Every structure is written in structure tokens, then in C-alpha cells.
A and B are shown apart, each in its own frame.
Chain A
Amino acid sequence: MPKLLEYQGKRLLRDCSIPVPEGGVASTPKEAYKIAERLRTTVAVKAQVGVTGRFQAGGIKFAGSADEAKRAAEELLGKEIKGLKVERVLVEEKLAIKGELYASVIVNDSWKAKGPLLMFSTKGGTGIEEIAVQFPEEVVSMNVDILKGLTIEQTRDLLSKLGVSLPLLEPLSKVVHGLYGVFKKYSARSVEANPIVLTEDDKVYAADCHIVIDEASVFKHPELEIDYPRDIGRAPTELEQLAWEIERKDYRGVGYFAQMTLGFGPGEGVVGFHGIGGGGAMLGADALIQHGVKLADYADTSGNPTASKVYRIVKLIFSQPNIDGYVLMGACIANQEQWHHAHALVRALREELASRPNFPVIILIAGNKEVESLEILREGLKGLPARVEIYGRDYVYNVDYIAERMKKLIEEYRRNFRRQD
């Protein structure tokens, strides 16, 4: 799920009439200077990276003049914070804080709700999990009917439960109600304003925000300019960008691909990993890792993808140089018609394995049309020079065996590899 940076999120808040501190985004110290000069007040210079705990990590600095803001930007731009490079800073007025509050709208995944959940607390600044543990009496929430929406009256009622004072109730309700507006307008998974700041002159601002957009709605919002809507905590590799291109061009089913190990050499025992079904895929990946198998990537094709999409994902996996094996961990009884996977695998593996003698390949596939799929795979992969093993539903609950087999095949393959050296 794509996380928006603070300055991107604040643009959306401003569009929905939520007050945010005056400021602007800068990608050079000179730009930071100009913004600070325009603001003519003490400013906060904030590194724009998608991590929490920026202040403690030295990613937020205060400046009393434009020159100081420029120096702060010089220090921050190009610096790495929690592994992410700072490419932009947000320069905005420093607020005179009297109090900090919290509000968010998230998706309540509970089967009873399956809709937006609005949360509010009179304690802001730290994470809602800590607030809920330390001050449970200071947190209120309500499920919102997605069809009826949220009224300003409902918002006021919710805030009143925590005894929000009358002069503060109106502006605060507008902010919290506005957050729901952002959530709905941009099909977000979560919109959080933390802290909402009450200033010395009794004004209310969303001082920081965290917005996560639903991956499936990115297509509807080109104005957000999200070119890689996966949350992998780093810049995507070229292959990951290609994987997203495959996903973007064809909505049918899911084709996920992320690289886990980069820059490995031949014979290091790193395998291309392909899973089916989120939980089943993770179960398989965990089993392999526990048995000492190193994974080059984590791929997942679920939700009844087309065979063409599965084919492309397998080709992506094989586009990682120096992998010493390929494993399909379909560790679930899938309801998608598995013969589409079987056809895709036959096409891709016939192309890839012809020139890879003894290359280890393990395929575990189960579920709808399983018998036919296993037959398609056995027939289609016959005669290839690789070491291909195919398993069905009897092994879905025995992924440790699959992992052990993979480890053994890799060891044999590596021995051959060393001999050839």
C-alpha cells in the first residue's frame, strides 16, 4: 500500500479545508531559504521520508531565520534516515503548541464492520496503540456507515464524549470530519492526523499526517502521481518497477514481486520464490527460510490471475541472475482454477529450463482443477534437462518436506556447479 509523504498528505488535507501549518516543500537548500524567508517566522525543516520517529532520528530541525533553514536543509537533504534517502524537506511555520490530540480514519476489517472506523483521542503525539494502552478512557471510536457517510453532528457527538470544550468543539469537529472526507475522496486505507495541534491562540491544525492509499485505487487518482504503489520501505529496483508495470497494465488477479536478496553470485544457493495465496505463500517462504534456503525474491500470484500474468511473473523471477533454483509454493487449497498457472508454468519453464541442466525446480500446486493441472505440468515439462519435482494437495500441510527437498536439490546442484568450476 502506498504511503504518502507528509507534504503530499498535507496537500490533500488542505484541499479538504483542514488547516495545516503554512509552508512549502523544497528539494534544494536555496528553495528552503526562499520558503523560510516568505514565512518570516521560526520554521520546522522536516525530512520527507516515509518513516515514523523522524524527530528522534534527527530528521526534524528548527530554524529561527532563512539562513538557518537553508543550513538545516543542507544537513538533511541527501542524508539517510532509517535507510531512506532524504530528497525533499518540508519547511513550515513552527506552531506554538498548547495541546496535542489525535484523530484517524482506518478500514475496520472486522466482518461485523467492513467499513471506515473513526478514532479520536485527546492525547496525541504518540502512536494510537500506546495511547489506547496508557489512556484507554481518552480514546473514542465509531464505525461509519459507508453508504450514509459521516455527518458533522455525528462527529461532534463523538468528540463530546471526551468532554471537548465548547469553543474547541466546532473547529476540531471540522478537522476530524474533514479527515473522513479525505479518506473517502482518495479511497484511502488510513488517514491519520497526529498530532492535531491546539495552538496558544486557540487554533487547530493538523500538524502531521500519515495517509495510506488503497493500492487498488491508485489508478483512479493519477493526480497523486504515485508511480510505485508498493510499500517496500526502499526505492524499487528495475525489476520491481517492471513487475508493477505488469500489474498496472492488467488488473486481472494479483501478480506481486519484490526482491529480497540483491547482488548474489552463482552457486550461492539463492532461489527464485513464487507463492500462491498470501498466507500460503508466506507459509511456504517461512518454511524455506527456516530450512536455510535463501530467497532471491517474494512473488505471489493469486486472485485468479490470467495465465499471461503468471507467465510474466515467472519470467521476472528467472530474470534474476544467478538463482540456483525455482520453487512454487502453492501451500493452500486455492479456489482459483489452477490450470491457468499450469499453462503459464509450462510456457515459461520450457523457455527457461532448456538451457539449465539439473536446475532444481519444485512445484506445489493444489486446489480447483488440481488433477488436471498436475497432468498438464507433468506432460508439459517432460523431457526438460532440469530436476523438476511436482507435488499436489498431499503436501499442502507438509511444507517442511518441500523445503527439505528444495534444500537437498540445491545442494546437489551446487556440487555439480563446483565440479564444473
Chain B
Amino acid sequence: MTIYEFPFTTGKVTVDYEKCNHCENYACVKACSLFGRAILRVEGGKPVLISQAANKRCIEDLACELYCQAYGNRGLKIVLDTFGLEEYRHKIGLS
């Protein structure tokens, strides 16, 4: 499994490139271009940052993940820092 990863201010994006091999529409790249700051492009059939520092321009619109999950091959996920909320929910019995 090849994982491509990059951080942004309050979380990170992880992409499972094996799933991208079978993707036909690159919905994540299109979504970033429409809703975000167009920091992704397709290179060698896989989504990558347009430059090494482009992640700093991420506006955390969450669109890449939603459109990958809905229209792509579900290879891209966003992990958001919840600043203690997950631990709180676990403590009070909400998963």
C-alpha cells in the first residue's frame, strides 16, 4: 500500500494510491479546483500537491474528501485534529 500524505493547519490528508490506480475521474482534484485553492493536480495518474509548500494554502474546505468518497475511488481521507473532542465523547459514552 502506497500512502501519500500531507499536513494542513488543523489536520492532514492521506491518499491510498492503490485506490487511485483505479480512479477514472479524479474528483478530489476537481473539487479542490472548484471549492478550494487548486493545490492538487494529477501526476502519473495520481493526485499530488502542485508544489511542496502548496499545502500551506489549503483552506480546509473538506471538498476533496467528500467528492472522492462520493464520485472517486474512496482513496482520499482527511484526518482532522478534534482538539480533545474525541476523548471527551469517549468519556461520556458517545463514540
List chain A positions with a Cβ less than 8 A from chain B. 238-239, 242, 245-246, 249-250, 252, 306-309, 311-312, 315-316, 318-319, 321, 339-340, 343-344, 346-347, 379-380
B residues 1-26 touching A (CB-CB < 8 Å): 9-11
Contact between B66 and A380, CB atoms less than 8 A apart? yes
A-B contacts besides A249-B83, A307-B61, A312-B83, 14 pairs, CB < 8 Å: A242-B88, A249-B81, A252-B60, A307-B60, A308-B60, A308-B62, A315-B82, A319-B88, A319-B94, A321-B93, A321-B94, A339-B35, A340-B35, A380-B70
Assembly CA distance A308 to B36 (angstroms) = 13
Q: List 25 A-B contacts (CB under 8 A).
A: A238-B88, A242-B83, A242-B85, A242-B88, A246-B85, A249-B81, A249-B83, A250-B9, A250-B10, A307-B60, A307-B61, A307-B63, A308-B60, A308-B80, A309-B60, A312-B80, A312-B82, A316-B85, A318-B94, A319-B92, A321-B94, A340-B35, A340-B62, A343-B35, A347-B62
Which chain A residues border B94 with CB–CB below 8 Å? 318-319, 321
Contact between A312 and B85, CB atoms less than 8 A apart? yes
List chain B positions with a Cβ less than 8 A from chain A. 9-11, 35, 59-63, 65-66, 70, 80-85, 88-89, 92-94
Which chain B residues border A306 with CB–CB below 8 Å? 10, 59-61
Which chain A residues border B63 with CB–CB below 8 Å? 307, 343
Contact between B80 and A245, CB atoms less than 8 A apart? no
Contact between B62 and A307, CB atoms less than 8 A apart? yes
- Give chain B nearest CB distance to A268 CB in angstroms: 17
Which chain B residues border A379 with CB–CB below 8 Å? 70
Our count of residue pairs bridging A and B at CB distance below 8 angstroms stands at 68
- Give chain A nearest CB distance to B31 CB in angstroms: 9
The main secondary structure of chain A at its interface with chain B is: helix
Contact between A319 and B85, CB atoms less than 8 A apart? yes
Assembly CA distance A344 to B66 (angstroms) = 9
Assembly CA distance A250 to B59 (angstroms) = 11
* Cβ 8 A contact of B62, one of A239, A252, A318, A343: A343
Contact between B89 and A311, CB atoms less than 8 A apart? no
> Given A239-B88, A249-B10, do A346 and B66 touch, yes or no (CB 8 Å)?
yes
- Give chain A nearest CB distance to B85 CB in angstroms: 5
* Cβ 8 A contact of B83, one of A245, A340, A344: A245
- Give chain A nearest CB distance to B80 CB in angstroms: 6
* Cβ 8 A contact of A347, one of B59, B66, B84: B66
Contact between B10 and A344, CB atoms less than 8 A apart? no
Assembly CA distance A250 to B94 (angstroms) = 25
- Give chain B nearest CB distance to A316 CB in angstroms: 7
Instruction: With CB as the reference atom, state the residue of chain A lying closest to B64.
Output: A343
